[in-house]
Amino acid sequence: MKLMVFPTAAQVDDAVAQRFVALLEKKPQAVLGLATGGTPVGMYARLVELYRQGRISFAKARSFNLDEYIGLPEGHPCSYLHYMRENLFDHVDFAPGAARVPDGHAADIAAAALAYDRDIALAGGIDLQLLGIGHNGHIAFNEPGTPWDSPTRAVQLDESTRRANARFFEDISQVPTQALSMGMKPILQAKSIVMMVLGADKADILARIVAGPADASVPATALLSHPDATVYADAAAARGLTSREVG
């Protein structure tokens, strides 16, 4: 796992956006793995800006988002489909149906999960997977203890995750208890992974990951043994790292 530290979050946004530019230049039909949460908002804004400048196109690309809540009313402003439309999909040129978010309203969630993994495999797997990280080390909604060969499936959210995400809702009672999450397996099968870690509140978990060891109790430590994973952190998130770790 490589670690890159930038003075500001805006510089992380730019560096990560450039990874998408470089990939889509080389492989316009690339398969992207996309994330939600507070962390990638600025990076998506940068991608929209680059699209408007004619420096990136998603016209031939496909994307698969990491996760979606189960149990929110259709069109709920806190759904991840809504988030992706607002932050990216409505502003760039994905072909209709090419940008996918797991269907948290599927009548048969288990079947939808199986189909999601099958469709990722049929697309040839994910070329570039974007990740954020939860304070407990979760990636997507794979909470601590998730086996690394887990498929996409319905998951129970940790109370700490519900509390962390309550800031996007009116109050915590509205935060769903379940989600449909891409599994550790399809995530780790991505050819390249970029994880964004921003802000002082992520310093402890970033230090834990960088120090190792890799262990299922901290899902993001799975990146330590991935052949092409890079963490992009801002200085605030990296403040718990030693100078040797930063390199």
Catalytic residues: 67, 136, 138, 143
Closer to ligand GLP by CB, 5 or 187: give it. Answer: 187
| Cβ closest to ligand GLP, residue 38 vs residue 71 | 38
* Contact call for residue 183 and ligand GLP (CB under 6 A): no
Min dist CB 113 to ligand GLP, Å, is 16
- Number of residues counted as binding ligand GLP (CB under 6 A): 14
Residue facing ligand GLP at closest CB distance: 132
For residues 69 and 178, is the Cβ–Cβ distance under 8 A? yes
Restricting to residues 188-227, which ones interact with ligand GLP according to CB under 6 A? Answer: none
**Angstrom distances, CA of residue 89 to CA of 47, 83, 135, 222:** 11, 9, 27, 29
Q: Show contacts with ligand GLP in window 114-143 (CB under 6 A).
A: 132-134, 140-141
Least distance (Å) between residue 135 CB and ligand GLP: 8
Q: How far is the CB of 237 from ligand GLP (least distance, A)?
A: 11
Q: Taking CB under 6 A as the criterion, which residues in 152-171 touch ligand GLP?
A: 161, 165
- The footprint of ligand GLP on residues 1-60 (CB under 6 A) is 35-39
Contact residues toward ligand GLP (CB under 6 A) are 35-39, 66-67, 132-134, 140-141, 161, 165
